[in-house]
């Protein structure tokens, strides 16, 4: 149990009493003591009176993991071994956890009858948070002495709210392992592809009807079902767009993993961290847990694609970068990744859709920045990297559909 400590009020009242006594001595006027006497009385009484003990504090949460927007209840249990006439309790909560009731209480505690306070909270943002501690404060008579203590902390993980996606971008290459994607090259599969004249080494089954009609062997070709690799490259250089990027990456990871693809994550920014590609529910847990702790870290250090481990960024498979394309380090890394021949697509989170302002009302600087960014996008487009804008407030389906169209048209043009 903490010992009672003097509050700043003791110093103030002692000073007022001292000033009165000093003035009485200096001016030889005993009546001045009467003016300061109440402060001296209160000081002496306050210092002599005992201070109630601090209560025991226990914190509990009905859920240790939430999704953004989810609700949980914190139970704060207070118990005392002797009567506490007044105890002030304040519960520290991170700003991202919004409490629906006050988080400071003033209450009386009796021995043998613990008090339980329930605090419903709503997770406004994703992240890993510490709930608590609950700080207790018990004051003595006139607030001259007080005991202060704290107790109980809990960890709460709030995961990003992912959008359920139906439109997905197909990777250029597939892996040799089975999955849900139809490979372009014919092989053993379920989905019918075409009928071809038989040649040595052609996979597929003989089409008896066609063979009988044409007089030479024909075979049915099918598309084999294969899995792909998806690497989500999240730009953590920009703080403002990071929550949207994390939510998008979370949704994409869930959608691709549900289709038996391998998914990996690279968070590229002030601090680099990655999750190597793998498949299954455990991988979804790993990716979402990594995204939950993804933060913006300010850094002037130069970062390039060479800092990303090769096993986290395989050459086969699709890399979807989610970035506002503002930091030159990331632009350089994207260019390097593409130069290695990696299949790359970029989703660019932008602000809410606004009415196009006329050239006269826009500043010259603004127009120059727009031109530079347009030139940058064209440059990536020429290298076979589509960049699609994702307006704030829109579904992620829209940029994914645009990406799919761009890549289909590019395939038609023969681009790789």
Which residues are at the interface with other proteins (CB under 8 A)? 8-9, 12, 15-16, 19-20, 23, 29-42, 45, 48-50, 52, 85-86, 88, 101-108, 115, 139-143
Provide the token pair at 5.
């400590």
Shortest approach of other proteins to residue 75 CB, angstroms?
Answer: 16
Shortest approach of other proteins to residue 31 CB, angstroms?
Answer: 4
In this complex, which beta carbon is closest to other proteins, that of residue 37 or of residue 64? Answer: 37
Shortest approach of other proteins to residue 1 CB, angstroms?
Answer: 17
Taking the C-alpha atoms of residue 386 and residue 269, their distance in angstroms, rounded to an integer, is 21
Shortest approach of other proteins to residue 158 CB, angstroms?
Answer: 24
In this complex, which beta carbon is closest to other proteins, that of residue 12 or of residue 293? Answer: 12
Shortest approach of other proteins to residue 86 CB, angstroms?
Answer: 5
Provide the token pair at 64.
């240790």
In this complex, which beta carbon is closest to other proteins, that of residue 140 or of residue 179? Answer: 140
Helix or strand (DSSP H, E) at 209: helix 208-214
Provide the token pair at 414.
């023969």
144: nearest Cα among 43, 16, 24: 43
Shortest approach of other proteins to residue 9 CB, angstroms?
Answer: 7
In this complex, which beta carbon is closest to other proteins, that of residue 12 or of residue 240? Answer: 12
In this complex, which beta carbon is closest to other proteins, that of residue 38 or of residue 280? Answer: 38
Shortest approach of other proteins to residue 93 CB, angstroms?
Answer: 13
In this complex, which beta carbon is closest to other proteins, that of residue 30 or of residue 352? Answer: 30
> With contact defined as beta carbons under 8 Å apart, do 90 and 103 qualify?
yes
Q: Which residues lie across from 123 on neighbouring strands?
A: 97
In this complex, which beta carbon is closest to other proteins, that of residue 34 or of residue 339? Answer: 34
In this complex, which beta carbon is closest to other proteins, that of residue 14 or of residue 254? Answer: 14
In this complex, which beta carbon is closest to other proteins, that of residue 7 or of residue 323? Answer: 7
322: nearest Cα among 263, 396, 382: 396
Shortest approach of other proteins to residue 78 CB, angstroms?
Answer: 10
Bond prior to 225 in cis (omega within 30° of 0): no
Shortest approach of other proteins to residue 105 CB, angstroms?
Answer: 5
Taking the C-alpha atoms of residue 130 and residue 355, their distance in angstroms, rounded to an integer, is 42
Q: Could you give the 3-state DSSP secondary structure of residue 198?
A: coil
Helix or strand (DSSP H, E) at 37: helix 32-48
Burial zone of 305 (CB within 10 Å; 0-12 exposed, 13-18 middle, 19+ buried): buried
> With contact defined as beta carbons under 8 Å apart, do 180 and 259 qualify?
yes
Name the pairing type of β-strands 115-123 and 134-139: unpaired
Taking the C-alpha atoms of residue 213 and residue 221, their distance in angstroms, rounded to an integer, is 18
Per the listing, tokens 């002495």 go with 145
Taking the C-alpha atoms of residue 104 and residue 91, their distance in angstroms, rounded to an integer, is 6
219: nearest Cα among 186, 251, 247, 244: 186
252: Cα separation from own chain's centroid: 14
* Those residues with Cβ within 8 angstroms of residue 290's Cβ, 6 or more apart along the chain or in another chain: 265, 267, 273, 275
Shortest approach of other proteins to residue 148 CB, angstroms?
Answer: 15
Q: What is the DSSP string of 371-416?
A: HHHHHHHHHHHHTT--EEEEETTS-THHHHHHHHHHHHHHHHTT--
In this complex, which beta carbon is closest to other proteins, that of residue 18 or of residue 197? Answer: 18
Taking the C-alpha atoms of residue 235 and residue 308, their distance in angstroms, rounded to an integer, is 13
Shortest approach of other proteins to residue 262 CB, angstroms?
Answer: 50
In this complex, which beta carbon is closest to other proteins, that of residue 116 or of residue 164? Answer: 116
């Amino acid at each position: 149990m903490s010992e009672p400590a003097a509050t700043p009020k003791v110093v103030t009242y002692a000073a007022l009493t001292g000033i009165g006594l000093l003035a009485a001595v200096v001016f030889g006027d005993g009546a001045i003591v009467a003016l300061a006497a109440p402060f001296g009385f209160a000081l002496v009484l306050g210092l002599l009176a005992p201070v109630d003990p601090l209560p025991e504090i226990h914190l509990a949460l009905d859920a240790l993991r939430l999704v953004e927007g989810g609700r949980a209840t914190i139970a704060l249990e207070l118990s005392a071994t002797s009567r506490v006439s007044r105890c002030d309790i304040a519960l520290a909560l991170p700003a991202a956890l919004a409490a629906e009731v006050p988080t400071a209480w003033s209450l009386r505690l009796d021995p043998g009858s613990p008090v339980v306070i329930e605090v419903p909270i709503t997770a406004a943002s994703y992240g890993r948070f510490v709930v608590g501690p609950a700080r207790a404060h018990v004051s003595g008579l006139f607030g001259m002495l007080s005991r202060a203590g704290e107790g109980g902390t809990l960890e709460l993980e709030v995961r990003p709210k992912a959008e359920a996606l139906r439109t997905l971008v197909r990777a250029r290459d597939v892996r040799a392992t089975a999955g849900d994607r139809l490979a372009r090259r014919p092989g053993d599969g379920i989905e019918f592809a075409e009928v071809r004249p038989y040649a040595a080494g052609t996979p597929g089954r003989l089409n008896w009807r066609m063979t009988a009609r044409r007089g030479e062997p024909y075979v049915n070709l099918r598309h084999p079902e294969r899995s792909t690799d998806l690497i989500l490259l999240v730009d953590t250089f920009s703080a403002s767009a990071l929550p949207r990027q994390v939510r998008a990456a979370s949704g994409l990871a869930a959608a691709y993993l549900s289709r038996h693809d391998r998914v990996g994550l690279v968070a590229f920014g002030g601090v680099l961290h990655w999750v190597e590609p793998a498949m299954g529910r455990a991988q979804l847990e790993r990716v979402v847990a990594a995204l939950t702790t993804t933060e913006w870290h300010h850094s002037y250090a130069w970062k390039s694609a060479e800092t990303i481990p090769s096993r986290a960024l395989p050459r086969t498979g699709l890399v979807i970068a989610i970035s506002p394309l503002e930091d030159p380090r990331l632009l350089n890394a994207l260019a390097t990744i593409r130069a290695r021949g990696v299949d790359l697509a970029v989703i660019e989170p932008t602000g809410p859709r606004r009415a196009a302002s006329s050239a006269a009302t826009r500043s010259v600087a603004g127009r120059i920045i727009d031109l530079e960014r347009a030139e940058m996008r064209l440059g990536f487009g020429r290298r076979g990297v589509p960049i699609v804008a994702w307006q704030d407030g829109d579904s992620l389906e829209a940029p994914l559909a645009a990406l799919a169209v761009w890549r289909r048209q590019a395939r038609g043009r023969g681009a790789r």
